[in-house]
Amino acid sequence: MSTHVLGPAEAIPEGEGRAFVVGGEQVAVFRLRGGALRAVQAQCPHRGGPLADGLVDAEVVVCPLHGYAYELADGCARSGAGALLVYDVEADPAGQLVVRLPGRRVEEVGGAAQARLEDAFAEPVA
């Protein structure tokens, strides 16, 4: 597990997302209306679309290329695509964005959803 500080949360306009390079990975961080933060992988698993450019609400981000929607909380696709990696993200008392690697991915295992650590992202850079 590694911790990364990405700058002030205000750098992300409310209700939008911005992409960051975190420990060598592309991460899309969203500041939802009301202030909640969410972080997922920056590229859509469908065709590589830029998810930080997507429309969001309290629950989902919609990829701007083909309209695939993903749950921001656990990365699950709402319509037939692979799941997103999701990252822990919060604002520290100074208002700085803090993201933790590695991400988690929810996978269908024997019909039941299980979270597992993504081994590929186990090695922190920073």
Residues that bind other proteins (CB under 8 A): 10-21, 25-26, 28, 33, 42-43, 47-58, 60-62, 64-67, 69, 78-80
DSSP assignment of 19-46, as one string? EEEETTEEEEEEE-TTS-EEEEESB-TT
Amino acid present at 115 = A
63: CB partners within 8 A, 6+ apart: 44, 46, 49, 51, 54, 69, 70
CB of 67 to other proteins, least distance (A): 6
Closest CB to other proteins among 51 and 115?
Answer: 51
CB of 19 to other proteins, least distance (A): 4
CB of 73 to other proteins, least distance (A): 14
